[in-house]
């Protein structure tokens, strides 16, 4: 393996092979590295073949060099400008809207519903209880 490639270098290489997990790129006659599928482009990549073909010339950035294992990790994505983020309003407009279920109210009963008292009703009840002398502890 050649030691002329260092982490951070940007070089031009040629795609020599494509696998489901990434693409192999020849940097020179004796050296090749791997561009992992996550480093091909910004965003999600389902199929490497949709972005690269054998024989394509690509600019790659050297992410790491493992001399002992003879491996070079490369990135095409690191050589490209990230896409501008969409304004949140535009992104929200693209999302499908969820429909919320409507709640149908029951017809109003003549008497107060059981088990539910308004704070006003409870307050009146508490005032009455506080005025009763038989409930006051002595």
* 107 domain-assigned: no
Residue pair 25/72 in contact (Cβ under 8 Å)? The answer is: no
CA 74 to CA 128: how far, in whole Å? 80
Q: Total domain count for the chain?
A: 1
Among 21, 23, 26, 27, smallest CA distance to 52 is for: 23
The model's pTM: 0.58
Q: How many CB atoms lie within 10 A of CB 24?
A: 17
* 23 domain-assigned: yes
Q: In 3-state terms, what secondary structure has residue 13?
A: strand
Task: Give the CATH number, domain containing residue 45.
Answer: 2.40.50.140
* 51 domain-assigned: yes
- Which structural domain range is residue 32 located in? 10-79
* 98 domain-assigned: no
* 105 domain-assigned: no
* 25 domain-assigned: yes
* pLDDT tens digit sequence for 101-134: 666 655 555 555 566 667 888 888 888 887 776 6
Residues of the chain below pLDDT 70:
1-3, 86-117, 133-138
The length of the chain in residues reads 138
């Amino acid at each position: 393996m050649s030691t002329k490639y260092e982490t951070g270098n940007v070089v031009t290489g040629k795609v020599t092979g494509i696998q489901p997990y990434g693409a192999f790129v020849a940097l020179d006659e004796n050296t090749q590295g791997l561009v992992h599928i996550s480093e091909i482009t910004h965003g999600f990549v389902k199929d490497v073949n949709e972005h690269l073909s054998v024989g394509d010339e690509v600019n790659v950035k050297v992410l790491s060099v493992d001399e002992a294992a003879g491996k070079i990790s490369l990135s095409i994505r690191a050589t490209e400008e990230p896409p501008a983020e969409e304004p949140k309003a535009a992104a929200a407009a693209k999302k499908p809207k969820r429909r919320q279920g409507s709640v149908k109210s029951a017809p109003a009963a003549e008497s107060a519903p059981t088990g539910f008292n308004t704070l006003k009703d409870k307050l009146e009840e508490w005032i009455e209880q506080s005025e009763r002398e038989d409930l006051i502890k002595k």
